[in-house]
């Protein structure tokens, strides 16, 4: 029943929004309406922030072991409700059930467990006395933290923001994506079941207007946002014009994949087909620019074409265990991707795909374009769909130059049998994450984030925890 509530979860209660603003959600596999969400406005946002503020000091003073126990209990509830969460993801954004149930939901639970383990390991520092002074540093929670997540890996991204914030002693207000809200509203019920104190973990539903209210709110101390570059700029602007709240941004990508002539060809083909097409390529780190060394280009591209043609048969009903590629998130995303494909047909050679698949739902054929110009839109702009641009290179230096020929810097992949080359090239690529001989896969212990216009700050790992703490230096006089 919670999948269709037009509510916000504020102060440990489900409350109906006072605004008449709603957002209708459609199943992208069937085009059928599957429910409406209420879009929180100023009244609901203020109530949620007030609840979080009232809960902050008691939560920060809660023993770390108790905070950890609640995070672990919440993780257990996520695992126990895997089936319901999968249904919510399939219904709202068409994510294949095998992906949601086998990867997204377990990863979400694991993130909460990981940061539960950090709750009692937040250390201070002490420095040698200088004269009659002893200097120490302690790390304190920031306060009320807001999170705004994307629609593509909905609950997984929530965990990256909420788990470290709660472990560090902050209180949280999280806004669902209006496109895929239902799984987060399931989590809202689990927050209550887990026993979090009122006001510690608040969830509201809403749209861009709701997000703007969070970014500009004078009593929110930090905001973390995952989404598009233009929206990220608005977040920064609103944060600066309000109370100069701290900001973490994980924005877009146009990631490169480099395949050298000494690479394991089968691994490279798999990574640049199945790896790229994971979640219908609606992943910020998807390597949508592929560069192949010229000496192996013809053979490799033939193999890649065959892989894409085979995977075209795995596009379909996200509930089917045989489906690897589901629909795009909604009609707007379908139209956006098809628009890029039509533009690409005049910018490059279409190798495979290039059409909508079927006349129902937001399905698109896996698509490859060859040799677009470096000023082509399909080469430069993030498409967020199954559209791959393939070019060739001759030397290592040229490959690195092409990889860095972008305003983004989120991720990259290097395929080579030469370990020294792998390390050398990875160190020269201007990206926050690099995979070697396989696409980069986020890991609990490793920081995740981008260079250049792909964002600022880091999530995951110890860095993800420290992003929700602030250092306080204390100087103690030792004079008698």
Q: What is the pLDDT of residues 430-450, one digit of tens each?
A: 999 999 999 999 999 999 999
Residue 60 clears pLDDT 50, i.e. is over it: yes
Interatomic CA distance for residues 67 and 167, integer angstroms: 6
Mean pLDDT of 30-35: 94
Q: What is the pLDDT of residue 9?
A: 44
Predicted confidence at residue 4, as pLDDT, reads 30
User: What HEC string does the chain produce?
Assistant: CHHHCCEEEECCEEEECCCCCEEEEECCCCCCEEEEEECCCHHHHHHHHHHHHHHHHHHHHCCHHHHHHHHHHHHHHHHHCHHHHHHHHHHHHCCCHHHHHHHHHHHHHHHHHHHHHHCCCCCCEEEEEECCEEEEEEEEECCEEEEECCCCCHHHHHHHHHHHHHHCCCEEEEECCCCCCHHHHHHHHHHHHHCCCCCCEEEECCCHHHHHHHHCCCCCCEEEEECCHHHHHHHHHHHHHCCCCEEEEECCCCCEEEECCCCCHHHHHHHHHHHHHHHHHCCCCCCCEEEEEHHHHHHHHHHHHHHHHHHHCCECCCCCCCCCECCCCCHHHHHHHHHHHHHHCCCCEEEECCCECCCCCCCECCEEEECCCCCCHHHHCCCCCCEEEEEEECCHHHHHHHHCCCCEECEEEEECCCHHHHHHHHHHCCCCEEEECCCCCCCCCCCECCEECCEECCECHHHHHHCCEEEEEEEEECCC
pLDDT for the residue numbered 401: 98
What pLDDT is attached to residue 15?
A: 57
Contact 324, 96 (CB under 8 A): yes
**How high is the pLDDT of residue 203?**
96
CA angle 87, 91, 97 (to 5 degrees): 50
Residue 52 has, within 13 A of its CA and on its CB side, a CA count of: 32
Query: pLDDT digits over 201-259, tens only?
Result: 999 999 999 999 999 999 999 999 999 999 999 999 999 999 999 999 999 999 999 99
**Residue-level pLDDT at 11:** 43
With both helix axes pointing from N to C terminus, report the angle between 105-118 and 82-93 in degrees, rounded to the nearest 10: 120
Q: Which two tokens stand for residue 382?
A: 């993030």
Per-residue pLDDT band for 19 (boundaries 50, 70, 90) equals: low
pLDDT at 18 over 70: no
pLDDT at position 2: 25
- Confidence category of residue 98, pLDDT binned at 50, 70, 90: very high
Mean residue pLDDT across the chain: 95
Nearest in space to 300 (alpha carbons), one of 280, 277, 275, 270: 270
Show the tokens assigned to 313: 């048969």
User: Which pLDDT score, from 0 to 100, does residue 279 have?
Assistant: 95
Query: What confidence score (pLDDT) does residue 92 get?
Result: 94
Q: Can you give the pLDDT at residue 21?
A: 87
> What pLDDT is recorded for position 8?
42
> Which pLDDT score is estimated for 317?
96
Confidence band (pLDDT; 50, 70, 90) for 129?
Answer: confident
Residue 273 CA from chain centroid, whole number: 21
If you average pLDDT over residues 381-392, what whole number do you get? 98
Q: What is the pLDDT of residue 361?
A: 97
Does 14 have pLDDT greater than 70? no
pLDDT at 180 over 90: yes
pLDDT of residue 6: 37
Catalytic residues: 250
Compute the distance between CA of residue 426 and CA of residue 414 in angstroms, rounded to an integer: 7
For each of the domains in the chain, give its residue range(s) and CATH number, in order of start: 2-251+454-474 (3.40.605.10), 256-449 (3.40.309.10)
Quote the pTM value: 0.94
- Burial (CB count within 10 angstroms: exposed 0-12, middle 13-18, buried 19+), residue 429: buried
Mean pLDDT of 271-289: 97
Please report the pLDDT score of residue 20 as a whole number: 73
Q: Which two tokens stand for residue 387?
A: 């559209």
Q: What is the pLDDT of residues 349-372, one digit of tens each?
A: 999 999 999 999 999 999 999 999
Looking at the DSSP assignment, which residues form a beta bridge with residue 280? none
Question: What pLDDT, on a 0 to 100 scale, did the predictor assign at position 16?
Answer: 58
Among 61-70, 123-132, 280-289, 305-314, the minimum mean pLDDT is found in 123-132
Asked if 3 and 186 touch (Cβ cutoff 8 Å), the reply is yes
pLDDT band per the 50, 70, 90 thresholds, residue 382: very high
The pLDDT of 165-178, averaged and rounded, is 97
Q: Check residue 131 and give its pLDDT.
A: 86
Q: For the residues 389-415, what does the mean pLDDT come to? A: 98
The answer on pLDDT for 479 being more than 90 is no
């Amino acid at each position: 029943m919670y999948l269709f509530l037009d509510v916000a979860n504020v102060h440990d209660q489900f409350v109906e929004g006072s605004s008449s603003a709603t957002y209708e959600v459609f199943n992208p596999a069937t085009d059928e309406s599957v429910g409406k969400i209420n879009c929180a406005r100023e009244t609901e946002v203020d109530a949620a922030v007030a609840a979080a503020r009232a809960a902050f000091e008691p939560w920060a003073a809660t023993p770390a072991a108790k905070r950890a126990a609640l995070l672990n209990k919440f993780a257990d509830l996520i695992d126990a409700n895997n089936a319901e969460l999968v249904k919510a993801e399939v219904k709202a954004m068409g994510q294949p059930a095998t992906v949601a149930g086998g990867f997204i939901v377990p990863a979400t639970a694991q993130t909460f467990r990981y940061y539960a383990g950090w709750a009692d390991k937040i250390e201070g520092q002490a420095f040698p006395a200088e004269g009659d002074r002893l200097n120490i540093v302690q790390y304190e929670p920031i306060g009320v933290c807001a999170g705004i997540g994307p629609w593509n890996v909905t609950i997984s991204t929530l965990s990256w923001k909420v788990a470290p914030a709660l472990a560090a002693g902050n209180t949280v207000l999280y806004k669902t994506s209006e496109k895929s809200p239902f799984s987060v509203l399931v989590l809202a019920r689990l927050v209550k079941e887990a026993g979090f104190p009122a006001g510690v973990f608040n969830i509201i539903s809403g749209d861009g207007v709701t997000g703007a209210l969070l970014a500009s709110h004078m009593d929110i101390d930090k905001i973390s946002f995952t989404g598009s570059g233009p929206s990220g700029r608005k977040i920064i602007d609103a944060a600066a014009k309000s109370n100069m709240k701290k900001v973490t941004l994980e924005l877009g990508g146009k990631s490169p994949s480099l395949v050298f002539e000494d690479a394991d060809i089968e691994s490279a083909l798999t990574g640049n087909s199945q790896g790229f097409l994971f979640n219908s390529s609606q992943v910020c780190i998807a390597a949508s620019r592929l560069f192949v060394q010229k000496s192996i280009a013809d053979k490799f591209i033939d193999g890649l074409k065959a892989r894409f043609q085979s995977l075209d048969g795995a596009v379909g009903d996200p509930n089917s265990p045989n489906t690897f590629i589901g629909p795009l998130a909604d009609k707007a995303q379908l139209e956006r991707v098809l628009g890029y494909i039509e533009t690409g047909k005049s910018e490059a050679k279409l190798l495979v795909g290039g059409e909508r698949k079927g006349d129902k739902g937001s399905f698109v054929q896996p698509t490859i374009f060859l040799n677009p110009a470096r000023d082509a839109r399909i080469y430069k702009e993030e498409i967020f769909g199954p559209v791959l641009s393939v070019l060739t290179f001759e030397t290592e230096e040229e490959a690195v130059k092409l990889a860095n020929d972008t305003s983004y810097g989120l991720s990259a992949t290097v395929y080579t049998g030469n370990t020294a080359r792998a390390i050398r090239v990875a160190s020269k690529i201007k990206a926050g994450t690099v995979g070697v001989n396989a696409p980069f896969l986020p890991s609990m212990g490793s920081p995740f984030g981008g260079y250049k216009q792909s964002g600022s700050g880091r999530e995951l790992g110890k860095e993800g925890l420290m992003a929700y703490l602030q250092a306080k230096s204390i100087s103690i006089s030792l004079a008698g």
